[in-house]
Amino acid sequence: MKSKKHANGGDTRAGAVQREPKYVIGIDLGTTNSALAYTAIASEGDASSEVTLMPVPQLVNPGEVRDEPLLPSTLYVPGANDFPAGSLDLPWEQEPRFVVGQLAQKRGTENIGRLVTSAKSWLSHSGVDRTADILPWRAPEGVEKLSPVEASARYLEHLSRAWDSKMPEAPFAQQQILVTVPASFDAVARELTLQAAERAGYRDVTLLEEPQAAFYAWIERHQDWRERVEVGDLILVVDIGGGTTDFTLIAVTEQNGELGLERMAVGEHILLGGDNMDLALARLVTERLAQKGTRIDAFQLQALWHNCRFAKEKLLEPGSTAKEQPVTILGKGTGLVGGTIKAMLGREDLDQILGEGFFPVVASSDLPRRLRRVGLQEIGLPYAADAAVTRHMAQFLRQQAAAGEYERVRRSPSGLAAPTHILFNGGVLRANFVRERIISTIDSWLAEEGFEAVRSLTGEDLMHAVSRGAAYYGLARRGRGIRIRGGVPRTYYVGIESVMPAVPGMAAPLKALTVAPFGMEEGTSIEIPQREFGLVVGEPAEFRFFSSAVRKDDPAGALIEEFGDDLQELSPMQVELPAAVKNGSATVPVSFETVVTETGMLQLWCVARDGRRWKLEFNVRERVAQ
């Protein structure tokens, strides 16, 4: 089982050639935007260097390259006559196959069938083959497609080549590189992110969870952080980006007489973010247009979706006094025949859609609603069924309190984890209205339980915190900063088939064996010799793996018979393990040994009585039902 999890949220690609870097580079590979920050690696005895943001050169118009603070995570597949010859040249590449960044974003709203967006969300979607060429999704015939892995690699490659164009004296490949991922990414999504980095030419890559990176950025900006929190405090990190919502709990502890930090819990993967909000606004505009007799098709809706994002960002950006913003899409037809369709999006619309739909005031007992599903559905991204972020937050705090194994997590009598502080991250939370709604909702929950109001940890750039924090974490790994302890963020299991008489049409019940308990630290191993199971060797067999962010009490070796929705299945794999005799198959009694290496690799070894050992690893090219 190869999840390559670092005990503090980082993953490192094994087998890479070690070099002595000059800089630590932190990369936020975002759903909507990506960013790069860096810091010099101070020599022994020097103070830690300041973290610096690198503007990213990119095409903003045909023939115009400009430095921008963010690289939009968008890719455009040019047609034969889309751009004049030579107008897509970059400082490091002539006539690229794809356009990445702002120009891709602009042109894509005009021709949505050639635009790739949300590659990061597709990277985490187990219902499709994420290594297959499927993007742009629903592209017309004749449009070149690429996989979510390849699209992610293109964004990462653009950042690395931009670095080399600006810092030729310090080649990117020789630096210490950290790339961030959602805390809720499973082992396969993390592995695919590493594959994308490899395709982009990255070496010695470490993965870091985004909420932790955001908290590292706060520490980097506040050297007096120990004066702002105290032992027993519980910090809730709310990270709402373009595609996902992540929740993380970090406890303030005491270690050897000094304050320390320990990640206590991470939430489930929630595909709910700015993309959902932009689509809701687009639907609102669509209804208004229909009332005036103007109907738009699916491709026009896609373009309207993206234009509503621009309008929303303009209305919500700090200091904005505008009450409305125009949204424009091309009409049907070509040239002057189709014309344009214009509408307005107002601030009141945002308050209604965001406040009532995505951030309603709810009780702490009000959990996400499970909607009745239609029997036949289009294949696409598995967005959250309930759009209310506040209900997902209530579920997270109730689940973590119910786990009950950590005395350092403050709990209410009714079973609610009670944070003392909150840290925001993600572009959606730039809006004061959204932050205030989340705080007021949590405060109402805490007041009912007899706790004081939550305190906000402020002072960080929400659009760049993740890349800044990743760069700081690189220094912390070298002993130049505080590190958040945590271990593996989930409990991991392997499926064990029960021994039962054959029954027509019914598979044997499956049990789950705990092989890596929550919080297992790097550089440690666990033997499970008290249990033996039959390992099929010499013929193809399927292995099934599960994880849980809820069950944190299960010790290594625990056999779970009834687990319901507590466990989520990861990627099954088919593999033929070698037998002792050539062309011979058998079932060998084995016990298990789990190892989390110093670099964070999670390995599951099957150990036979005669000392033979087999290692199971995830197969990242998953089988997809046809």
Three-state secondary structure of 208-254: EEHHHHHHHHHHHHCCCHHHCCCCCCEEEEEEECCCCEEEEEEEEEE
At 622 the pLDDT is 36
At 449 the pLDDT is 92
Query: Which range, of 4-8, 222-226, 241-245, 362-366, averages the lowest pLDDT?
Result: 4-8
SS3 content of the chain, % helix, strand, coil (to 5): 25, 25, 45
At 171 the pLDDT is 96
Query: Is the pLDDT reported for residue 16 higher than 50?
Result: no
% residues pLDDT > 90 (the chain): 48
* Predicted confidence band of residue 338 (pLDDT cuts 50, 70, 90): low
% residues pLDDT > 70 (the chain): 86
Amino acid letter for position 434:
V
Q: Indicate the Cα dihedral angle 377, 379, 385, 390, nearest 10°.
A: -160
Triad 466, 453, 446: Cα angle to 5°: 100
Task: Give the Cα separation of 422 and 104 in Å (integer).
Answer: 35
Amino acid letter for position 566:
D
Per-residue pLDDT averaged across 120-136, rounded? 88
Q: Return the H-helix or E-strand segment holding 149.
A: helix 148-166
Query: Is the pLDDT reported for residue 336 higher than 50?
Result: no
Beta-bridge partner residues of 510: 497
Query: Which range, of 135-149, 188-202, 327-341, averages the lowest pLDDT?
Result: 327-341
At 438 the pLDDT is 97
* Predicted confidence band of residue 521 (pLDDT cuts 50, 70, 90): confident
Residue 202: which of 12, 32, 39 has the closest Cα?
12
Query: Which range, of 65-79, 114-128, 401-415, 612-626, averages the lowest pLDDT?
Result: 612-626
Q: How many CB atoms lie within 10 A of CB 131?
A: 15
* Predicted confidence band of residue 625 (pLDDT cuts 50, 70, 90): very low
Answer whether 24's CB lies under 8 Å from 167's CB: no
CA distances from 392 to 116, 321, 430 (A): 28, 31, 20
**Half-sphere exposure at residue 26, Cβ-oriented, CA atoms within 13 angstroms:** 35
* Predicted confidence band of residue 48 (pLDDT cuts 50, 70, 90): low
Beta-bridge partner residues of 306: none
Query: What are the helix (H) ranges across 167-201?
Result: 187-199
At 243 the pLDDT is 85
Task: Give the Cα separation of 38 and 54 in Å (integer).
Answer: 7
Q: What is the rounded average pLDDT for all residues in the chain?
A: 85
Query: Is the pLDDT reported for residue 401 higher than 80?
Result: no
Task: Give the Cα separation of 611 and 86 in Å (integer).
Answer: 63
Q: pTM of the predicted model, to two decimals?
A: 0.79
Query: Is the pLDDT reported for residue 93 higher than 90?
Result: yes
Residue 118: which of 248, 29, 186, 210 has the closest Cα?
29
Per-residue pLDDT averaged across 522-545, rounded? 86
Query: Is the pLDDT reported for residue 131 higher than 80?
Result: yes
Query: Is the pLDDT reported for residue 197 higher than 90?
Result: yes
Which has more pLDDT, 17 or 54?
A: 54
At 361 the pLDDT is 94
Answer whether 158's CB lies under 8 Å from 89's CB: no
Amino acid letter for position 252:
V
Which has more pLDDT, 566 or 160?
A: 160
**Is the N-terminal amide bond of 136 cis, ω within 30° of 0?**
yes
Domains of the chain in start order, with CATH, are 11-208 (3.30.420.40), 225-272+383-480 (3.30.420.40), 274-358 (3.90.640.10), 491-616 (no CATH)
Residue pLDDT, tens place only, 208-218:
889 989 999 99
Query: Is the pLDDT reported for residue 92 higher than 70?
Result: yes
Answer whether 143's CB lies under 8 Å from 82's CB: no
* Predicted confidence band of residue 269 (pLDDT cuts 50, 70, 90): confident
Residue pLDDT, tens place only, 404-442:
444 557 888 888 999 999 999 998 898 888 999 999 999
Which has more pLDDT, 28 or 510?
A: 28
Query: Is the pLDDT reported for residue 373 higher than 60?
Result: no
Query: Which residue do the tokens 């303009």 mark?
Result: 314
Which has more pLDDT, 568 or 602?
A: 568
At 260 the pLDDT is 86
Task: Give the Cα separation of 213 and 520 in Å (integer).
Answer: 20
Helix (H, G, I), strand (E, B) or coil at 263: strand
Tokens for 84? 């004049």
Q: Indicate the Cα dihedral angle 354, 360, 364, 367, nearest 10°.
A: -80
Residue pLDDT, tens place only, 456-489:
998 668 899 999 999 999 988 888 888 887 677 7
Query: Is the pLDDT reported for residue 140 higher than 80?
Result: yes
Q: How many CB atoms lie within 10 A of CB 168?
A: 8
Answer whether 190's CB lies under 8 Å from 266's CB: no
Query: Which range, of 4-18, 248-262, 425-439, 576-590, averages the lowest pLDDT?
Result: 4-18
* Predicted confidence band of residue 589 (pLDDT cuts 50, 70, 90): very high
What is the separation of C-alpha 139 from the centre of its chain, rounded to a whole number of angstroms? 25
At 287 the pLDDT is 93
Query: Is the pLDDT reported for residue 256 higher than 80?
Result: no
Residue pLDDT, tens place only, 300-334:
888 888 889 889 988 887 778 889 999 988 876 54
Task: Give the Cα separation of 394 and 446 in Å (integer).
Answer: 12
